[in-house]
Amino acid sequence: MYLSRFLSIHALWVTVSSVMQHYPSVWGHYDVCKTQIYTEEGKIWDYMACQPEATDMTKYLKVKLDPPDITCGDPPETFCAMGNPYMCNNECDASTPELAHPPELMFDFEGRHPSTFWQSATWKEYPKPLQVNITLSWSKTIELTDNIVITFESGRPDQMILEKSLDYGRTWQPYQYYATDCLDAFHMDPKSVKDLSQHTILEIICTEEYSTGYMTNSKIIHFEIKDRFAFFAGPRLRNMASLYGQLDTTKKLKDFFTITDLRIRLLRPATGEIFVDEQHLARYFYAISDIKVYGRCKCNLHATVCVFDNNKLSCECEHNTTGPDCGKCKKNYQGRPWSPGSYLPIPKGTANTCIPSISSIGNPPKFDRIWPNISSLEVSNPKQVAPKLALSTVSSVQVANHKRANVCDNEFLHCQNGGTCHNNVKCQCPAGYTGILCEKLRCEEAGSCSSDSGHGARAQGSLTLLVALLGITGPHLF
């Protein structure tokens, strides 16, 4: 009898060992990833949540103009200075490189003199509106980390809207309105970001701050990302942990700084006055010399590297995840539901690694759920149905501090075999399965299981033995 018991325990140990070796020794925490953080000494690298380094994302975008023939130079035309309508010695000619102003000049490296810029046709068809949509697309979800900065070579437009898309241009939402007169242009009271607060940070505003003036130092339009970050991280962004915590727990806030596309809608060029001078329409046009969009690939905190290959950005996914944004578990690594990595607990975060599907590892017992690195399994109350879990690697969730254990919660107490958790007190099992966690074949109760369906009974027996080895009595688990 003792030999039989020893052999059974040995067999179970081999099985459990074969499963557990696929889990990292510190499951759930980042110990190989690093990111830039702000300190009193400036920016430094520290080990915490995995995310690619922020960079100038305009190096990877595609630009589209609507209408497509709005760029000046075909046919060639002369344009005048806004400040002096009689100074008309500037020419745009698409067939001559030195006189052409194509869209890609919005994103080239500056520093040459004279500066390079894209330019639209002049307002020669007035009173028809001179309107242009400039769409910037990445074919990838990115997260903004710094201000969007648009530098105009012409006067800043009298009316403009900055829009964003989260679904690759299928739908659009306004980011910010710009006008010399917000009330007249968009029926909105003028505001600046300084008028916002933590509670109103997602408010879409109209600002008059960037829509007047034609001086050399008045050519820039901002969409202030950093000023919004400062509501949580402080004026000099020294408390990034607070910002990361907010981004981690507030989906709307995170989505606010996430885009797949940007659209600049130029609705009315700079006129410098209320009325358009119809005698000198060649002085009205749009010209942009530079656009800056700083951000990083969105990889759901599952990658530190984002590569640009075949004109496409993609995350080099870690933690057994896959997809353009590391948004799902790899095949054979679906032993727990996919979830993004977490910044919490600060400073190291939680990786939320995808774990192997049990059926993909040799021939261990075919139950759908194993908890890696179990620091303790205890039943704190004999009336509780399910064991209380204490996972040392998920302190942000603090399962061990629950006042009472749930029967299921779709996170750590997972209904098996396709079951769904109902109000944390019952697993609703699919046809053919029963039990607290849908872990048993229904045919077992009727004694009609075929040999092919016997894996459920074997799984339950092995799991019961494992629990017994850990000092938990069977009735509390099943």
pLDDT digits (tens, 9 = 90+) for 232-286: 988 888 888 888 888 888 889 999 999 999 999 999 999 877 789 898 899 999 9
In sequence order, which ranges of 94-172 are alpha helices (DSSP H)? Answer: none
pLDDT (0 to 100) of residue 47: 59
Q: Mean pLDDT in the chain?
A: 77
- Coil, strand or helix: which one is 8? helix
pLDDT band at 291 (very low <50, low <70, confident <90, very high): very high
pLDDT 10s digits, 100-111: 999 999 998 765
pLDDT (0 to 100) of residue 31: 61
Give, rounded to a whole angstrom, the gap between the first and last alpha carbons of the chain.
26
pLDDT band at 8 (very low <50, low <70, confident <90, very high): low
pLDDT (0 to 100) of residue 141: 97
Instruction: Tell me: pLDDT of 207 over 80.
Output: yes
pLDDT (0 to 100) of residue 365: 40
State pTM to two decimals.
0.69
Cα(293)–Cα(150) distance, integer angstroms = 9
Cα distances (Å, whole numbers) of residue 18 to 266, 359, 360, 416? 62, 12, 11, 21
pLDDT 10s digits, 443-460: 766 666 654 444 443 344
Cα(371)–Cα(391) distance, integer angstroms = 8
Two structure tokens written together for 401: 């501090």
pLDDT 10s digits, 15-73: 444 444 344 433 446 665 766 666 667 766 665 688 999 999 999 999 999 999 999 99
For 380, which DSSP code?
S
Range 350-360 average pLDDT: 83
Range 167-192 average pLDDT: 96
pLDDT (0 to 100) of residue 439: 74
Q: Which amino acid is at 12?
A: L
Domains and CATH numbers, the chain: 55-297 (2.60.120.260), 412-437 (no CATH)
Length of the chain: 478
Residue 318 contacts residue 310 (beta carbons within 8 Å): no
pLDDT (0 to 100) of residue 427: 82
pLDDT (0 to 100) of residue 426: 79
**H or E stretch including 469?**
helix 455-469
Cα distances (Å, whole numbers) of residue 446 to 367, 433, 455, 475? 21, 12, 16, 21
